Structure 1
Amino acid sequence: MSQVETSRTEEPGLRRDLSGRQVGMIAVGGAIGTGLFLGSGLAISIAGPAVIIAYAVGAFAALAVAYAIAEMVVVHPEPGGFGAIAQRYLGGAFGFVQRWIYFAAQVVNIGSEVVAAGLYLQFWYPQLPLWVPVVTFSVVMLAVNAAAVRYFGEFEYWFAMIKVVTIVVFILLGITYIVLGLPGRPATGVGALTEHQGFLPNGIGAVWLALTVVTFSYLGTEAMALTASESRNPARDVPRAARGTVLRLALFYIVGMLVVVSILPWNQVSTEDDVTQSPFVRLFAMAGIPAAAGIMNFVVLTAALSAMNTNLYVASRMTYSLARDGFAPRWFTGLSRSGAPVRALLLSAAGLALAAAISALSPDTAFPLLLGLALFGALVTWLIIFASHLAFRRSRAAEGLPPSPVRLPGAPVTTVLAMLFIIAVLVTTAFTEQFGTAWKAGVPFLVLLVVAYLLVRGRQGVRGDAD
C-alpha cells in the first residue's frame, strides 16, 4: 500500500465502531423510505401495473452500482467513500464535483424524507400544520446523529429492522389475500393487473417515464460506501452489505409492487397530484382493517425517519471528507469527544431548514418538488461512480495489481451499460412534468461546482507555491 493510501485509510478521528449488521442496515435504511412507501404511488399513477417492470429494471442498475462500489471500497476504505475514490482515479475536479453534488442531493433528500414523515403524521392528525412535525423530527434526528457512531448504528439498525420485518409481513399477507383470501374476504386473484385498461394502460413509454421515480427509489444503495471508514471490518462488511441490500430492495420493491397493483386498481392507488398517503396504507384501509392501516402508517413513518437518519449520516461524512481534502473549510473537520463530525452535521442540517421552509410555504407540493431536486444530483453521482469504476479497473490492470476480492460481474461491459441507462434516465427527466425543475436546476448547479473547483484549485496552488 502506498503512502497516500495509508495516510487516507488510517483515519485518526472517525472511529471504527460500526458492526457488520449495522453497516448492512444503514444501507437498507438509506434506500427504503419514501421511495417505496410514498413515491411508489406516483410511479404507479404513471405506468399502471407495468410499474413492476420498471422496478425490475431499476434493481439491475442498483445491483451494478452496489457491486461497483463494493469492489472499490474494499480496496480503499477511506473517508468520503466513492467521492475520495473519484478524486484518486479521475482527478480533483471529479472528486470535488461528485462529493458536493452528492451532498446537495442528500440535503434535499433529507428534506423530502422529513416532509414525508410529517405527511404520515397527518394521517392521524390532519389539522396539524406540516411544519410542526418537520421541526420536531429534525431536532430528534440531529441529536441521534450527534451521538457516537456506535449509538447511531444501533439506533438505525432497529429503526430499519421495523420496516424490513413489516414489509415481509405485508408481502406475505398480501400474497395470502391474493391466493387464499382473508377472513370474510374472498381471494382477489390478479385480475387487477389487467382489468383496468390492461397491464400497460398508458403504453410502454409510460413505463420508461416511471423509471425516473423508480430510480429515485433505489438511490441510497450507495450509502454503504460512507460506512467503510467507520466499519470494524470493511473488507467483510461492505461486500456483504452490497449483496444483502440489493436482494432486499429487489424483493421489497418488485414483490411489494406486485402485491399492491394486484389488489388495488392502479388508478385508485394514487394520482400524480395526490401523494399525501401511501398506497400501502390505502391497501389496508380498503381491506377493512383500520387498525392495520394505523400500524402500517406508523411503520412508514419510521421508514421515512430511518432514511432521513441515514441520509444525515452520509451527508455529514461527505462534508467531513471535503473539508479534509481542502474542498470545504477546515472548520468542518471538527469532531466531538465521541468522534462524531458535529460541525459537518450542522451544514447537513441545511436540508432540514429547507424542508421546513418549503413545507410551511407550500405543503401540497413539498414532496414532489424535493423529490425532483434530489434526483439530478443523485444520478450524476451514480454516473461518476461508474466512471470511477472503469478507471479503477484500468489503473489496477496497468500497474499489475491483483483484482479486488469483490468484482462486478460482467464488467467493464456491465459498467458501461449501467452508465448508458443512467444517462438515458437523466435525459428523460428533462421531458417529465415531475422532474423538469430538477434538470433546470441541476445543470446550472453543476456548472457552478466546476467554477467553484477552479477557484478552489487556484487558491490551493497559490498556497502551495507560497509554502
Structure 2
Amino acid sequence: MTAKTATLSRGLKSRHIRFIALGSAIGTGLFYGSSASIQTAGPAVLLAYLIGGAAVFLVLRSLGEMAVRDPCAGSFGEYATKYLGPLAGFATGWTYAFEMVIVCLADVTAFGVYMGFWFPDVPRWIWVLAVVLVVGVMNLFSVKVFGEMEFWLSLAKVVAIVAMIGAGIAILVLGLHGDGGPVGVSNLWSNGGFFPHGAEGFVLSFAVVMFAFGGTEIIGVTAGEAQDPEKTIPSAVNWIPLRIVLFYVVALAVIMSLNPWQNIDGTGSPFVEIFASLGVGSAATVLNVVVIVAALSAINSDIFAAGRIMYGMAERGQAPAAMRKLSRNGVPLTTVSIMMGALLLGVVLNYLMPESIFLVISSIATFATVWVWMMILLSQFAARRRMSPREAAALKYPAPFWPYGQIVAIAFMVAVLVLLAFSGDTRIALIVGAGWLALLSGVYVLWGRPRTPVAGPAGQAERAEAEPAGAEAVPVARS
C-alpha cells in the first residue's frame, strides 16, 4: 500500500454517526451501571441524570463547534494540542485511549454478567474472552461496514428500550404485582422519599451517573470519517437532550415505579431483574438479549474510538508511527490490535476478581471520562478567546451560553472529580488517575516533545522540531 492511500476514508453518513453516538451512550452505564447509581441516590438519581446530561450536552456542543470548524482524525486530542499546548494534547489523547480501554473492560465484564442469566455455571471469563475476539474481528472491516453494523445494533437498542417503556407503563396502568413489591408511580417517593439518602447520596451519585454518559464524545472522533461534518456532527449532537430524557430518565423512572428502588441489588441488569421479578419471564429473556446487543454495540464503539484517537496522535507524532498503519480498507490495524490485546486483561481480571471488578473499573473510567470532557471544554474556551469577533460570528455551529455555560460546566467537571475522593469504592480512581497523568507527563518529558510529522508520500519534509505549539498545519484526514 502506498502512502498516498494510507488515509482514513470518509465513509460515515449522518445516520451512522447519530447511532454510533447513541451506541456509546446507551450501553453498560444504563443497562447495568444504573443499579449502583440507584442504590446511592434512590429515585433522586433521575434528577442527577438530568443535571449530568445538561453538562454533557454543553461538552458536546463545545466539541461540535470545533469539529465542524476543523474536522480531523483524533479530534479533541488535536484541539488540545492546538489550543492548550502539546503536553495537554498528548495527555488528552492518551487519556481518552485509556478511557476507552477501561470503559471497554467494563462493557466486556457486563457482557459476562448478562450471559450468566442463562448460563450461571459457566465462568464469566470465558464469555469475556469470546466477546473480545468476536468484536475485535468486526472492527477490522471498513469504516462503512462498521457504521452500518453499529447503526443496526443501536437501532435494536432504541426499539427495545421504547418497547420496554411501553410495556412498563402498561403494567403500571393495569396495576400488576410481582415478587418485588407494590407497583406504582408512588414508589418514586413512598420508600424513604425522593431523596432517601439525603443530599449526600444525591451528590455522591454523580460519580456513578457520569460514567453512564462516557463515550458520547465519540461524535468528535467520527468527524475525520464523516462524509459531511457540517451536517452530520450538529445532527448527532442535537439528539443528545432527547436521548437523555427518554433513555435514562423515563426508562429508569419506569423501572423504579415497577419495583421499589431498594430491591434493585445490582446482581444483573435492573431492566432484566424487574421483569423477572414481575413474573414476565419472556420479557426478561428478550431484555437480556437486548442488553447483550447493547454491550456488543458499546464494545464495538469503544474499539473504534480508541483506534481513531491513537491514529490521530500518531499523525501528530504523539504516538509511535506504527499506529498510522492502515489496512486496504482504511482501518488502523495496529491500534485495533492494541485494543484487543489490552482487553485480554479483562479476561484475567474477570478470572481473578469477578465480584468487585465492575465498580473498580467504572470509577477509573469516570475519572478518565470527566478529565477528557474538561479538556474539551478548556480547548473550546481557549479557541474561542483567540477568535476575532468576525471569526466568532462566522462559526457554523457555535456552542450556546458562551462563556458562562462553559465556565459552569468546567466547574461541574472539577466537582465530579473531587467527589471521587469521598467514597472508599471510588477513591482508587483518583489514585490511578493521578498516577496515569504523572506517567504521561514523565513519558512526554523523556520523549523530548515528539515531532509532528506531515502525513504524505515518503520523502516529503517533516515539520521542524521547533514548530510552535499552536501551529495551524496539523494534518487532517482526507477523503
TM-score, structure 1 as length reference: 0.93
Where do residues 301-380 of structure 1 align in structure 2 (5 Å cutoff)?
A: 301-380=292-371
> Is contact 1:179–1:187 with CA below 8 Å preserved after alignment?
no
> Is contact 2:104–2:303 with CA below 8 Å preserved after alignment?
yes
> Is contact 1:11–1:229 with CA below 8 Å preserved after alignment?
no
- Structure 1 residue ranges, 4+ long, deviating more than 3 angstroms after superposition: 179-188, 398-403, 457-461, 463-467
* 1:102 is the counterpart of 2:111: no
> Is contact 2:6–2:330 with CA below 8 Å preserved after alignment?
no
- Which residue number in structure 1 is paired with residue 202 of structure 2? 207
> Is contact 1:224–1:238 with CA below 8 Å preserved after alignment?
yes
> Is contact 1:430–1:436 with CA below 8 Å preserved after alignment?
yes
C-alpha separation between the residues in 2 aligned to 1:219 and 1:17? Answer: 24
Distance 1:390 1:171, change over 3 A: same
> Is contact 1:171–1:259 with CA below 8 Å preserved after alignment?
yes
The structure where helix makes up a greater share of residues is 1
Distance 1:353 1:197, change over 3 A: same
- Which residue number in structure 2 is paired with residue 7 of structure 1? none
- Which residue number in structure 2 is paired with residue 256 of structure 1? 251
> Is contact 1:396–1:403 with CA below 8 Å preserved after alignment?
no
Count of matched residue positions in the alignment of Structure 1 and Structure 2: 453
- Which residue number in structure 2 is paired with residue 405 of structure 1? 396
- Which residue number in structure 2 is paired with residue 445 of structure 1? 436
> Is contact 2:97–2:306 with CA below 8 Å preserved after alignment?
yes
> Is contact 2:67–2:223 with CA below 8 Å preserved after alignment?
yes
- Which residue number in structure 2 is paired with residue 289 of structure 1? 280
Unpaired segments of 5 or more residues in structure 2?
453-462, 468-479
C-alpha distance after superposition, 1:297-317 (max 9, x if no partner): 110111011111001000000
C-alpha separation between the residues in 2 aligned to 1:67 and 1:97? Answer: 22
C-alpha separation between the residues in 2 aligned to 1:465 and 1:169? Answer: 57
C-alpha separation between the residues in 2 aligned to 1:417 and 1:35? Answer: 24
C-alpha distance after superposition, 1:159-188 (max 9, x if no partner): 111111111111122222223446999993
Shift of 1:392: 1.5
> Is contact 1:160–1:303 with CA below 8 Å preserved after alignment?
yes
Where do residues 31-430 of structure 1 align in structure 2 (5 Å cutoff)?
A: 31-181=25-175, 188-270=183-265, 275-397=266-388, 400=391, 402-430=393-421
C-alpha separation between the residues in 2 aligned to 1:226 and 1:465? Answer: 26
Identity %: 37
- Which residue number in structure 2 is paired with residue 28 of structure 1? 22
C-alpha separation between the residues in 1 aligned to 2:294 and 2:14? Answer: 21
C-alpha distance after superposition, 1:203-232 (max 9, x if no partner): 111011011111111111101111111111
Q: Which amino acid aligns with 2:206?
A: L
3-state SS of paired residue (2:72): coil
- Which residue number in structure 2 is paired with residue 3 of structure 1? none
> Is contact 1:108–1:351 with CA below 8 Å preserved after alignment?
no
Q: Which amino acid aligns with 2:404?
A: V
C-alpha distance after superposition, 1:294-353 (max 9, x if no partner): 110110111011111001000000111111111111011000011100111112224311
Q: Which amino acid aligns with 2:434?
A: V
C-alpha separation between the residues in 1 aligned to 2:18 and 2:397? Answer: 16
C-alpha distance after superposition, 1:31-84 (max 9, x if no partner): 111100100000011111111111111110121111111111001100101111
> Is contact 2:142–2:330 with CA below 8 Å preserved after alignment?
yes
Shift of 1:262: 1.5
Q: Which amino acid aligns with 1:66?
A: L
Q: Which amino acid aligns with 1:244?
A: W
Unpaired segments of 5 or more residues in structure 1?
1-9
3-state SS of paired residue (1:74): helix
> Is contact 1:49–1:193 with CA below 8 Å preserved after alignment?
yes
RMSD: 2.2
C-alpha separation between the residues in 2 aligned to 1:268 and 1:14? Answer: 48
3-state SS of paired residue (2:364): helix
> Is contact 1:33–1:303 with CA below 8 Å preserved after alignment?
yes
Distance 1:80 1:205, change over 3 A: same
> Is contact 2:165–2:250 with CA below 8 Å preserved after alignment?
yes
C-alpha distance after superposition, 1:381-413 (max 9, x if no partner): 001000011011112236846432112221110
C-alpha distance after superposition, 1:342-380 (max 9, x if no partner): 111112224311211100111111211211221111111
C-alpha separation between the residues in 2 aligned to 1:63 and 1:85? Answer: 18
3-state SS of paired residue (1:14): coil
Distance 1:199 1:183, change over 3 A: closer
3-state SS of paired residue (2:415): helix
Q: Which amino acid aligns with 2:153?
A: F
Between 1:242-251 and 1:106-115, the stretch displaced more is 242-251
Distance 1:466 1:366, change over 3 A: closer
